[in-house]
Amino acid sequence: MDVESAGWLQALAGAGRGREAALARLHELLVRIARGEAARRGPRLAITGPELDDLAHQAAADALVAITGKIGQFRGESRFTTWAYKFVIFEVSAKIGRHFWRHPAVPLDAEDWDRLPGWFGVDPAHQAEWGDLFAALRRAVDSELTPRQREVFVAIVLNDVPLDTLVLHLGSSRNAIYQVLFAARRKLRAALVAGGYLGGNTAGCS
């Protein structure tokens, strides 16, 4: 473990003023990283100004709690600050997901299939050229997917719901929703390959 990381661990494991000073210094770092991350993502979000700053402060405070609670899990595989920054990045991510859950751009359970070509960047003027493909994709969504897979596909692809927002809506985890979508993608690709709409496997992929 590097000297600086060992210093952080020692200070945070201690007591009294030394620990308080380390906590204050860590919090200051976390606020700076949270602000930077919120600003980095800000242009793509409908969150600005004081609301974005509040989000950054909340993320830093929650990250500090998580870090002090899990400090025993730090194994020195990276610098301590990198490990700590991971928590604040996750908190910013989660808080943005929560924001969109409270203020959805479209109803989470809407189902507008006309949005499908647009999600894949097809120019409306050229959508007719892709009509057969998207019709086949829609049939595959209806016939191949389980209800849960269909629900996740519709939310993320048709309704453009951020995955982290869907996680909150379904009371699930990012990994669980990703695995549902992963399985759905495999099934849909297999159906489109079988129907002659897509080519076969690419090396390393399925």
Partner 1 sequence: MTGWPALERFLRTDPRDVGCEQAMEMLHVYAELVAAGEPAQERYPGIAAHLHACGPCGEDFEGLLAAIRGETR
Site for partner 1, rule CB under 8 A:
33, 36-37, 40-41, 77-79, 81-83, 85-86, 88-90, 92-93, 97, 117, 120-123, 126, 129-130, 133, 137, 162-164, 173-175, 178-179, 182, 185-186, 188-189, 192, 198-199, 202, 204-206
Residue number, 11 or 198, with CB nearest to partner 1 = 198
Residue placing its CB nearer to partner 1 in the complex, 14 or 68? 68
Which residues, at least 6 apart from 59, have a Cβ–Cβ distance to it below 8 Å?
A: 30, 34, 37, 38, 88, 91, 92, 94, 95
What is the rounded distance in angstroms from the CA atom of residue 151 to the CA atom of residue 97?
Answer: 18
Nearer to partner 1, 14 or 106 (CB): 106
Question: Reduced to 3 DSSP states, what percent helix, strand and coil does the chain have, rounded to the nearest 5?
Answer: 75, 0, 25
In the complex, what is the shortest distance from the CB of residue 46 to partner 1, in angstroms, rounded to a whole number?
16
> Cβ of 8: how many Cβ atoms within 10 Å?
22
User: Given the complex with partner 1, which of 61 and 90 has the nearer CB atom?
Assistant: 90
Give the number of C-alpha atoms closer than 13 A to the C-alpha of residue 114, restricted to the C-beta side: 1
Least Å from the CB of residue 194 to partner 1: 13
> Dihedral of CA 158/156/100/34: which sign?
negative
Q: Do 134 and 116 touch, CB atoms closer than 8 A? A: yes
CB of 103 to partner 1, least distance (A): 18
Please report how close the Cβ of residue 122 comes to partner 1 at its closest, in angstroms: 5
Please state the separation of Cα 145 from the chain's center in Å. Answer: 23
Residue 14 or 150 with smaller CB distance to partner 1: 150
- Give the single-character DSSP code of 202: P
- Please report how close the Cβ of residue 202 comes to partner 1 at its closest, in angstroms: 6
